[in-house]
Structure 1
Amino acid sequence: MIRLTDRGHVYALFAIVVLATALGSLTQTVMNSMLGGVEADFGVDAAVGQWLTTAYMLVLGVTVPAVTWLAQRLPMRRLVFLALGIFVAGAVVSGAAPSFGVLLAGRVLQAVAAGITLPVLQSIAMTRFPPGQNATAMGIAGIAMGFAPNIGPLIGGALVDSLGWRSFYAILLGILATLVLATALTVPRGEAPTRDARLDARSLLLSTLGFGGLLLGFSEASTLGLSHPLVWAAVAVGAACLGLFVRRQRRVDDPLIDLRIFESRRFRASFAAQNLLFASFMGITLIVPLFVVGLQGGTALEAGIVFIPATIMALVCNPLAGFLADRVGVRPVTVVSAVLLAAGSVAMAFMDEATPLWAMTLMQTVRGLGVSSLIGPYASWGLSKLPRAIVMDGSAFFATARQACASLGTAAMVLLITTAGSLGAAPALGYQLAFGLSAALAVAVLAVTLAKVR
């Protein structure tokens, strides 16, 4: 064990979990641009190949709520080792996969690991940093949640065209091995917060069916349509089980998610704003490439260029926004950021076939600056008034609900495009409606910010 000060141990732990979470976010999106190579190698069609991304999203969403119980039973060092160990196993299985089914199993393991690290990261930022540094820490954490997934498709495309898709997992293993070694050397042993915490199996089942059903239904709605039985059944089962889950959490002694989190006014406002934010911006990462390639006849490279400035600037804006929120207060930071988000989003709703690439890139950059500057300050502000014992519960519920809302927003945007096309509308109209929905959600974020953040 390397001798560090107490603060040094916290910084080391935080850096390790930030990198692990960034790898999880990167792994989630990197497959988007490698699907063609995977499908060709295993002889599967696009509908089957898409399950590599759908399954990852589903497993990530249903894993996160269970982390609250794990955090009560395991010391932080062991919890980090568990996440890294599962991640390593997933990378090995995926990299050496002899068939599509084995690769899918590896993706499931990776999603479980990512589901563990995400709420742990936010909990560390809120409970192990001194007051006045929480928003800064959460801003740094935002790099893992914002920058990493955006750069994933670019990395995947570069690797699949040069070294093949398996090379990503070889690189991933090298980084993970370094993180395992760093954890062994710098993270001290400690006691678990509550060794007798009991896992309520019925809550876990209801959570899995609830969030899993909603995520499955929302993700399939964009391809199968709202009228498809699978979509309706999944959403109906998910909503019913989620209602039963919430009811049960209020009645059992050991809830999977302590719903006292909603007694905090800040948490409720932040919860609403973050869900609107993720519903607004995640779908754009899919709609913009469809717009550039499908409507304007551009190339995949040109579609990628639209995101590059905002993605690069997120490296600076995420921590800077957190730092400013700690220094001047969260309201001015979030108001300015929400105005940027709304302005860029509304401008994009008026794009058509003739919109030049530079103008689209400028609008997305303004929009992206708003997104990257909102995530950290809003998360830290929303969690800041929760009792320390239930910060992990708040973080876990944040992460799971955001995932469902991101899927819902994306499905709704794709559905608007396909519906407009089926009705014979002008080619640009469906995209304008999709961008308009994103703009409406962004304006709603601004409204919540102006009304609730003090």
Structure 2
Amino acid sequence: MAAHERPAGPDSAVHVVAAQASPCDELVIRSQPSIVDRPCRGKRLALAAAILGSSMAFIDGSVVNVALASIQSELGASVAAIQWVVNAYLLFLGSLVLVGGSMGDRLGRRTVFIAGIVLFMLASIACGLAPGPGTLIAARAVQGIGAALLVPGSLSIIGAVFDDHERGRAIGTWAGVGAITSAAGPVAGGWLVDAFSWRAIFFLNVPLACLTVALALIAVPDSRSADAPRKLDWAGALTAAAGLGALTWGLTVASSRGLSSASVLGAMSAGVVLLIAFVVIEMRSRNPMMPLDVFHSRDFTGANVVTLLLYFGMSGIFFYLPFTLIRAHAFTATEAGAAILPVPVIIGVLSRVTGGLADRFGPRLLLTVGPVIAGLGFAMLSLPFVRGSYWSGFFPALVVIGLGMTVTVAPLTTTVMGAVSKERTGVASGINNAVARVAGLFAIAVLGIVFVGSHNAALAVRLKALNIPADIHQGGQLLEPEADASAAINTVRIPPHTALADAHDDAIDDALRAVALVSALCAFAGAACSAALIRARPGRSDAGA
């Protein structure tokens, strides 16, 4: 493989870990054939359109996390509802992103990209105008469909517009802007929430979308792939979406109804059956969106298991940490967004340094050490002293998490590329990206059971010690998973700095610690899987094809 095609190294692009960015996005770009017969005259404008499109989707995922507390308060949303505000987006993005990329190859990358932008914009307007949780969740689902069209389209456009010699600089620009937006997005979104309303974070997408469409129409050629599948794998995509949706819904309501509930067991069973059907469909399809034979490679399977486990932990922390800081520590949305800055800043600053380690030591060592370091960071968040000052409690843990992710992301990309032939790099990277997004989907649902259960148990103990009836525990601090909106709106707020308020805050802290502990265990399990599944071999530069 040519040197310019290596995904990791000291001169490679900065790898970004945002709420929706994935470890192999760079591979999607590199795997696209350039348009040698239809040169693009406005390459910089085309790059700007691709960056705006992908950034809009990535930022929207991370910004919503700092707005959840405000959404819950204004709309009287239950815990399950605010989980679905995020999960509805991830569900359709994760399950449709592969077929979205195939649509671009077949129907035209610019056409599908613009369609995704327009759909995303209209859904954003619906989000901003949503009168209640149900409408907001439905609009977020449509946003996810739009993102599934625009995200692969934006990456494919960069790959198609720039030839092999220009891609390095284009990817560097794309990744650099991504690093900035990953860091600034939650802070800017928090400021919008504090200064205006949570609705502003959705209305901001409207002018950005209009500008992106204009740039795409002016500068982006409507390229297609000559070997694009004749038929899209809609059966696989819809079955995957239905299976993931049923399983996630069952996990989400399990915290209130119990795992033994008939509705929970029915939904989860249906989800498992549908996902098995998805595997069967992919095995028999002539043009599967997820070719299963790539999993014959131990390296590829190991890389995806590590991705699933590590991004499960990351997604859970990024979902529940801002909520905890706002609810239990009186952070503003802006402060909560700034609180998670250490992770993207460390990744952005150090990725160029750590990228070359994969070539020097081989990916297995780094994919074992990196998750262990990240796991230690998660475990630090579970310690009892993480309840006081941000700088002495939360900040050190986030620094360690950032270091662990920095060590991990580059060898993940290297392993995925090295596990398949050059012709299948695009397929492999697309699957790895989908796995990262599905990990976030499951994290919010599964860790919701941990968060709510731990909160309720800890609060019951504290209320008993204070001789306060347990039915007072709602108090506007943390709503029950299926609380009625009307009851939530009419709830009397608990005065701050009282014994009851402290009990609520401490219970939320305990819930976050439980989530962090599960995230740590998942990261350590990822390290163990890497050591067991990924072959011991030199870095990509010495490994051959």
Partner of residue 299, structure 1: 331
Whether 1:82 aligns to 2:120 is no
Residue-by-residue CA offset, 1:175-225 (whole Å, 9 max, x unaligned): 222222332333233333346611344323322212222333344445654
Shift of 1:440: 1.6
* Residue identity opposite 1:160 in structure 2: V
Contact 2:368/2:527 (<8 A) preserved: yes
Partners of 1:226 and 1:211 lie apart in 2 by 17
Partner of residue 266, structure 1: 299
Q: 1:159 aligns with which of 192, 195, 199?
A: 192
Partners of 1:105 and 1:411 lie apart in 2 by 17
Whether 1:406 aligns to 2:429 is no
Q: 2:265 aligns with which of 229, 232, 243?
A: 232
Contact 1:68/1:392 (<8 A) preserved: no
Partners of 2:45 and 2:300 lie apart in 1 by 28
* Residue identity opposite 1:422 in structure 2: A
Contact 1:416/1:434 (<8 A) preserved: yes
Contact 1:349/1:433 (<8 A) preserved: yes
Partner of residue 7, structure 2: none
Partner of residue 396, structure 2: 362
Whether 1:442 aligns to 2:526 is no
Partners of 2:174 and 2:106 lie apart in 1 by 27
Residue-by-residue CA offset, 1:273-328 (whole Å, 9 max, x unaligned): 10011112111123434655666x55356655542222333333456555665788
Partners of 1:324 and 1:10 lie apart in 2 by 32
Partners of 2:218 and 2:359 lie apart in 1 by 31
Partner of residue 25, structure 1: 58
SS in structure 2 of the partner of residue 386 of structure 1: coil
Residue-by-residue CA offset, 1:362-385 (whole Å, 9 max, x unaligned): 111111232245335413531444
Shift of 1:40: 7.2
Shift of 1:112: 1.3
Partners of 2:404 and 2:364 lie apart in 1 by 14
Partners of 2:56 and 2:301 lie apart in 1 by 29
Partners of 1:61 and 1:117 lie apart in 2 by 13
Partners of 1:78 and 1:410 lie apart in 2 by 33
Stretch of structure 1 that moved more, 398-407 or 273-282: 398-407
Could you say which structure has the higher helix fraction? 1
Structure 2 gaps, min length 5: 1-35, 463-506, 538-545
Partner of residue 60, structure 1: 93
* Residue identity opposite 1:364 in structure 2: L
Contact 1:73/1:195 (<8 A) preserved: yes
Partner of residue 242, structure 2: 209
Higher RCO (C-alpha under 8 Å, 6+ residues apart): 2
Q: 1:242 aligns with which of 267, 270, 275?
A: 275
Structural mapping, 1:90-109, within 5 Å: 90-95=123-128, 104-109=137-142
Q: 2:409 aligns with which of 375, 385, 400?
A: 375
Contact 1:413/1:435 (<8 A) preserved: no
Stretch of structure 1 that moved more, 253-262 or 182-191: 182-191
Contact 1:279/1:408 (<8 A) preserved: yes
* Residue identity opposite 2:331 in structure 1: T
Contact 1:282/1:409 (<8 A) preserved: yes
Partners of 1:431 and 1:38 lie apart in 2 by 20
Structure 1 gaps, min length 5: none
Shift of 1:417: 4.3
Q: 1:386 aligns with which of 420, 425, 429?
A: 420
* Residue identity opposite 2:457 in structure 1: S
Max Rg structure: 2
Contact 2:90/2:438 (<8 A) preserved: no
Contact 1:75/1:193 (<8 A) preserved: no
Shift of 1:242: 0.9
Partners of 2:370 and 2:41 lie apart in 1 by 32
Q: 2:312 aligns with which of 272, 275, 279?
A: 279
Identity of aligned residues (%): 23
Structural mapping, 1:130-141, within 5 Å: 130=164, 137=171
* Residue identity opposite 2:420 in structure 1: L
SS in structure 2 of the partner of residue 188 of structure 1: coil
SS in structure 2 of the partner of residue 250 of structure 1: helix
Partners of 1:442 and 1:248 lie apart in 2 by 31
* Residue identity opposite 1:191 in structure 2: R
CA gap of 1:336–1:53, structure 2 versus 1, over 3 A, is closer
TM-score, normalised on structure 2?
Answer: 0.68
* Residue identity opposite 2:442 in structure 1: L
CA gap of 1:40–1:417, structure 2 versus 1, over 3 A, is closer
Partners of 1:125 and 1:322 lie apart in 2 by 22
Structural mapping, 1:169-180, within 5 Å: 169-180=202-213
Partners of 1:290 and 1:40 lie apart in 2 by 12
Partner of residue 342, structure 1: 375
SS in structure 2 of the partner of residue 66 of structure 1: helix
CA gap of 1:239–1:15, structure 2 versus 1, over 3 A, is farther
Partners of 1:80 and 1:98 lie apart in 2 by 29
The count of aligned residue pairs is: 449
Shift of 1:441: 1.6
Shift of 1:399: 3.2
Partner of residue 422, structure 1: 457
CA gap of 1:354–1:399, structure 2 versus 1, over 3 A, is closer
Stretch of structure 1 that moved more, 353-362 or 250-259: 353-362
CA gap of 1:187–1:23, structure 2 versus 1, over 3 A, is same
Partners of 1:318 and 1:69 lie apart in 2 by 30
Partners of 2:245 and 2:81 lie apart in 1 by 19
Contact 2:104/2:110 (<8 A) preserved: no
SS in structure 1 of the partner of residue 123 of structure 2: helix
Partners of 2:225 and 2:434 lie apart in 1 by 24
Contact 1:225/1:415 (<8 A) preserved: no
SS in structure 1 of the partner of residue 290 of structure 2: coil
TM-score, normalised on structure 1?
Answer: 0.80
CA gap of 1:329–1:361, structure 2 versus 1, over 3 A, is same
* Residue identity opposite 2:431 in structure 1: F
Structural mapping, 1:114-129, within 5 Å: 114-120=147-153
Partners of 2:517 and 2:413 lie apart in 1 by 26
CA gap of 1:293–1:319, structure 2 versus 1, over 3 A, is same
